[in-house]
């Protein structure tokens, strides 16, 4: 089977209307990527179905070849799978995010300056003060953690029933990055009383122990679930190379080989060279055909409002990742895309089609799409909203 490498530059796409000086993709100097684009099938695809929040769990699930409308049942259970956490099907798993608020609104949706040690210490304090027999905190990564709510599924169903009886809309959670500058009192009042209490108490505890965060936000809830095995679904083995627990969880759920290393981070300092060679080593085995390489740095910079950092992260992919893949596996099909838009101007995610290229050295040179940018890829093909990129790619190859 043709060897395929899918490079996911998380959040690399931006909103051109918010970038008067050009998007980070447009401003980035990417000679390798530009050359690849001219020997590619290029265009736009949709990773976020209607009705879903434009987040990485949904976008990456789509890019892995799983339709979210059929398979997505919450973000937090994916991260629990990465940690090997086992719970009852009646329990709810919540994502815990440390953030900062001022005057009742979220101003810093991700307290990204919190270190791993600080995060674990804060979770221990919260476990002692707010945990108990019904709710258990589990430390994960820096400012992102988990909360297991015993028999939470039934509690949430009852909460939905009460809201319906009162004529209130269904209870829906969103990540703090999607709630910036919105009044939190109104949003918090929609949560079940027991969770409101935890979130309010946690704010006091955090404020007493760190200046980096004064709010705990619960979202992305769901009960444990699985995905169809990738080897069964696509008749080949695959891997995910990433330093992000969310991607590890998706990989475990899909029975992919999960490849990680301490040098694989979610920040601009991630070791792209090591990621490239890890994917290549996996593909050397005859039974292994597809390697996903995930790079979080563009999204991280986007959430910080750092457009220049996002541009630099894209340029690093061009300098440190792609040349190795091209040199070491010259006959491979290399896909470059992103899971969603992360406009630096808003520090949040956004809906919209994302650019993609599917490069192969034997493809004839095309002149319609000259660069891997939002505007240029718009000149290429546009996949329908219900179309998975990996499905289209595999059909074209075979």
Query: pLDDT (tens digit, 9 = 90+) per residue, 262-299?
Result: 999 988 999 999 999 999 999 999 999 999 999 999 99
Which residue has tokens 């089609």? 353
In whole numbers, what is the pLDDT of the chain averaged over residues? 94
Contacts with 124 (C-beta within 8 Å, 6 or more apart), sequence order: 139
- Averaged over 336-342, what is the pLDDT? 98
Q: Length of the chain, please?
A: 398
Residue partners of 165: CB distance under 8 A and separation at least 6: none
| Dist CA 250 CA 62 (whole Å) | 11
Which pTM value belongs to this model? 0.93
Average pLDDT over residues 336-360: 96
Q: Is the pLDDT of residue 195 over 70?
A: yes
Give 231-272 pLDDT, tens digit per residue. 999 999 999 999 999 999 999 999 999 999 999 998 899 999
Neighbouring CB atoms inside 10 A of 368's CB total 12
pLDDT band at 132 (very low <50, low <70, confident <90, very high): confident
* pLDDT at 369 > cutoff 90: yes
Q: How confident is the model at residue 367 (pLDDT cuts 50, 70, 90)?
A: confident
Residue 263 near residue 236 (C-beta atoms within 8 A): no
Whole-number pLDDT of residue 395 = 80
pLDDT tens track for 217-236: 999 999 999 999 999 999 99
CA–CA gap between residue 240 and residue 71 (Å, rounded):
19
Average pLDDT over residues 155-169: 92
Does pLDDT of 32 surpass 70? yes
Q: What is the pLDDT of residue 181?
A: 81
- In this model, does residue 180 exceed pLDDT 90? no
Q: Average pLDDT for residues 46-70, to the nearest whole number?
A: 96
CA dihedral (19, 22, 26, 29) in degrees, to 10, reads -120
At residue 309, the pLDDT reads 97
Find the mean pLDDT for residues 307-311. Answer: 98
Of 109-113, 259-263, 311-315, minimum mean pLDDT range: 109-113
- 291: phi then psi, degrees, rounded to nearest 5: -120, 125
Grade residue 112 by pLDDT with cuts at 50, 70 and 90. Answer: confident
- At residue 398, the pLDDT reads 58
Give domain limits for the chain.
Answer: 4-72+226-397, 80-222
Q: Are 96 and 219 in contact (CB under 8 A)?
A: no
Q: Is residue 394 very low, low, confident or very high in pLDDT (cuts 50, 70, 90)?
A: confident
pLDDT computed for residue 170 by the predictor: 86
pLDDT of residue 245: 93
What superfamily would CATH give domain 4-72+226-397?
A: Alkaline Phosphatase, subunit A (3.40.720.10)
């Amino acid at each position: 089977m043709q060897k395929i490498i899918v490079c996911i530059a998380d959040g690399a796409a931006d909103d051109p209307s918010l970038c008067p000086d050009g998007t980070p993709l447009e401003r980035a100097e990417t000679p390798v990527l530009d050359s690849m684009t001219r020997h590619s099938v290029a265009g736009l695809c949709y990773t976020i179905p209607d009705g879903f929040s434009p987040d990485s769990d949904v976008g990456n699930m789509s890019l892995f070849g799983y339709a979210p409308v059929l398979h997505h049942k919450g973000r937090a259970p994916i991260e629990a799978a990465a940690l090997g956490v086992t719970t009852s099907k009646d329990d709810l798993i919540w994502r815990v995010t440390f953030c900062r608020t001022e005057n009742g609104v979220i101003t810093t949706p991700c307290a990204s300056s919190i270190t791993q040690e600080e995060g674990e210490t804060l979770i221990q304090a919260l476990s002692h003060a707010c945990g108990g027999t019904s709710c258990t905190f589990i430390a994960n990564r820096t400012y992102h953690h988990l909360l297991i709510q015993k028999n939470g599924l039934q509690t949430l169903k009852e909460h939905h029933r009460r809201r319906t009886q009162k004529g209130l809309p269904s209870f829906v959670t969103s990540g703090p990055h999607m709630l910036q500058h919105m009044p939190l009192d109104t949003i918090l009042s929609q949560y079940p009383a027991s969770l409101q209490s935890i979130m309010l108490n946690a704010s006091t505890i955090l404020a007493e122990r760190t200046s980096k965060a004064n709010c705990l936000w619960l979202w992305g809830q769901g009960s444990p679930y699985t995905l169809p095995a990738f080897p069964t679904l696509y008749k080949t083995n695959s891997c995910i190379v990433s330093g992000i627990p969310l991607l590890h969880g998706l990989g475990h759920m899909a029975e992919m080989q999960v490849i990680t290393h301490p040098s694989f981070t979610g920040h601009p300092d991630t070791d792209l060279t090591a990621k490239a060679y890890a994917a290549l080593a996996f593909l050397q085995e005859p039974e292994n055909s597809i390697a996903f390489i995930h790079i979080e740095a563009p999204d991280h910079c986007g959430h910080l409002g750092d457009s220049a950092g996002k541009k630099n992260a894209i340029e690093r992919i061009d300098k440190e990742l792609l040349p190795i893949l091209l040199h070491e596996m010259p006959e491979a099909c290399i896909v470059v895309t992103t899971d969603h838009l992360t406009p630096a101007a808003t520090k949040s995610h956004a809906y919209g089609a994302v650019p993609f290229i599917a490069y192969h050295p034997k493809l004839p040179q095309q002149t319609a799409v000259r660069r891997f940018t939002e505007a240029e890829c718009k000149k290429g093909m546009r996949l329908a909203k219900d179309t998975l990129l990996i499905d289209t790619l595999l059909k074209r190859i075979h």
